[in-house]
Structure 1
Amino acid sequence: MHFNAPSYPKQWFDTKSAGTPVVILTGMGCSYEEWYEVIQSLRPAHRILSFHRHSWKEGDGIHRTGHAIQQLQTLLSGSNVDEPILLIGHSYGGLIAQEFTKLFPERIKGLILVDSTSVDLHELDALDTPVLDAVSSDAAWQALCRDYAIKTKEQLKQLLQPVLTGAQKRLPQAVQDALVDFQTEPDLYAMMDSEVEHWKTDAARIRTGPFPDVPLIVIGRDPELSIQDGINDGLPEDELRQVEETWHRLVLRQATLTKQADFITATGAGHAIHLDRPDLVISAVTKLDVT
């Protein structure tokens, strides 16, 4: 699948189709190629835009939410998008989306947060989860990213032996190939190291001040499914329950950001709701486009 028109920089895509612009801010380490089903369903009536944050070379090499907002502004101006947009933020992309909405509420027709990182993510640090911390703490993740960032693309290919999830394997072969290639980009891991380094500081900044009263739909993952997936991976159930209960509470809290908010639990979906339940994202866009 090729989203980019030849005249467009590689770092972003624009379907250039008619209709309300829908901008997708992807999660950390995620490609917009994963959104294939959502994009194909929406593009007949919407203009879909997105970008890969790690492929933008300008700036000081530090990737924070503010840097991503500059990229988004460049995307919108470079694509001549002047009207209000429907903004979708998944995971870390949701943190970026919340800051952009606070800074530029006049540019938002509607906001969709898909299992979004919370501005209160520091609350996860208070949990007693030593086993999970050993494999997924910020420090452990950054150390891994820094190691990957100094390797070549070919070295990463040999080291990671990229594999796709079951949901990703349902996508067209060209999309699968692009996703495998995406996982072997050293710049991707350098970016993630920087994003994790600063995300709690950025979250604290975004948390301050009122949130504009824009139409909002918050979609959270299925806690029980996520717990069972973790158990199947050999992780302790008590720690998994602590994390999922806290994560669910933080995501649910996002539905109090505005007076025009709805909350949806994506039954049968893990963190990658756009892959497991694309229908929920599509229906959210459709609902906000008529409000």
Structure 2
Amino acid sequence: MSEISQYLLLNQHKIEILQKGETGTPIIILTGMGCSFDEWHDISESLSKSNRVVMFHRPGLGNSEIRNEVRNTQAVVNEISEMISLLKLTEPVILVGHSYGGLCAQHFVKAHPEKVAGIVLVDSTSVDVKVLDELDLPMLNEDSTDDIWMEKCHLYSLMKKEELTEIINPTLTKKQEQLPFDIQQRLIDFQVNPNLYKAMSSEISNWKKDAEIIKRLGQFPDIPLIVIGRDKEHSIRMGIEDGFPEWELRLFEEKWQELIVNQATLTQNSKLIVVQEASHSIHVDRPDIIIESITEIVRKIKC
């Protein structure tokens, strides 16, 4: 197994990418909004023993450059397409998308169906995400509407790293504290990069418009698909511990689960997995499920 950290020039931006493995089926992992590819360290290590794994930080994330361009799913589609060409990935890839990365994956597979052999959606943002705005959730929405997040991200983007460190007080999960020290430090640094919040502000401002565009792109190709969703009851319990009312949490989680279940109808060759005791960060809570699912897709496309 080999690991290559490098930069590619994608659409005139210096983009940080990480490749692991030299042979086998190419797997491209698309991270969630505000998430580092280093969160996928153990998963990529395991998969790269027999596959070629590619991860990248979108502009503004990690060490990837960002200017004043619009950040939306179409921009990500363009970056993936150019990256595939520059890396000379000649066979169709497996796309793995978590959260917002799953929305980007759905856009890419509709725009370039010939370039994708299979797809894994990990608690992915739905193209029907706007229905969540129609729920009456006074406490949950008090500090978490798109407008509030955009304002907060814009403010953070103007700060220095030292200021962000004081405000955010970046931490790691217990599982992340078991990662190699250099990965732990990268995860900490990732959270206090002002450019991260510049990118997030733009992504948040566009993601619901993007979802509507993706819906209008036509049929989802009939390729192997595994949809992985979080544990509704576990998420409700976590929310109650944070002080939110159970009725709001249940309303939100039931609708979120409905959207996840609907994603499993995108193809005739799909499978739905609901992961017990897992939060939205399923790749952190249960990396074994992610590894098994991607490996299953690899087997399917080789049959």
Which range, TM-score by smaller chain? Answer: over 0.9
Matched residue, 1:5: 5
Count of residue pairs brought into register by the alignment: 290
Which sections of structure 2, spanning at least 5 residues, go unmatched?
9-13
Q: Give the whole-Å Cα distance in 2 for the aligned partners of 1:70 and 1:25.
A: 13
The residue aligned with 1:250 is 259
Tell me how large the CA RMSD over aligned residues is: 1.6
Does the 8 Å contact 1:4/1:10 carry over to 2? no
Any gaps of 5 or more consecutive residues in structure 1? none
Range moving further from structure 2, 6-15 or 38-47: 6-15
Measured after TM superposition, the shift of residue 169 of structure 1 is 2.2
Separation in 2, partners of 1:112, 1:287: 10
Q: Is the 8 A contact 2:7 2:16 kept in 1?
A: no
Q: Which amino acid aligns with 2:223?
A: V
| C-alpha distance in 1 between matches for 2:7 and 2:245 | 50
Residues 15 and 59, structure 2, Cα contact 8 Å, conserved in 1: no
Q: Is contact 1:91–1:117 with CA below 8 Å preserved after alignment?
A: yes
Report whether the alignment pairs 1:124 with 2:113.
no
1:161 Cα offset (Å): 1.6
Evaluate the alpha carbon distance shift between residue 284 and residue 244 of structure 1 in structure 2; reply closer, same or farther with a 3 A threshold.
same
Match of 2:77 in 1: 69
**1:50 aligns to what?**
55
CA offset at residue 210 of structure 1?
A: 1.5
Seen in structure 2, the aligned counterparts of structure 1 residues 45 and 225 have a Cα distance that, compared at 3 Å, is same
User: CA offsets per residue over residues 40-99 of structure 1, 9 Å max, x none?
Assistant: 111110111011113444775210000111111222122111111110000000000001
- SS of alignment partner, residue 139 of structure 2: helix
For the 8 Å contact 1:124–1:243, the answer to whether it is kept is: yes
| 2:168 aligns with one of 160, 163, 166 | 160
Identical columns (%) = 43
- How far the C-alpha of 1:17 sits from its partner, in A, is 1.9
Q: Go from structure 1 to structure 2 and tell me whether the alpha carbon gap of 1:6 and 1:132 turns closer, same or farther (over 3 Å shift).
A: closer
Mapped to 2, the partners of 1:218 and 1:88 lie a distance apart of 10
The equivalent residue for 2:117 is 109
Measured after TM superposition, the shift of residue 174 of structure 1 is: 1.7
Number of the residue aligned with 1:269: 278
The one-character-per-residue Cα deviations of 1:185-233 (angstroms, maximum 9, x if unpaired) are 1111011111110111100010122111111000000011110001111
**What secondary structure is seen at the aligned counterpart in 1 of 2:271?**
strand
Establish whether residue 174 from structure 1 lines up as the match of residue 179 from structure 2: no
Whole-Å separation in 2 of the counterparts to 1:225 and 1:170? 23
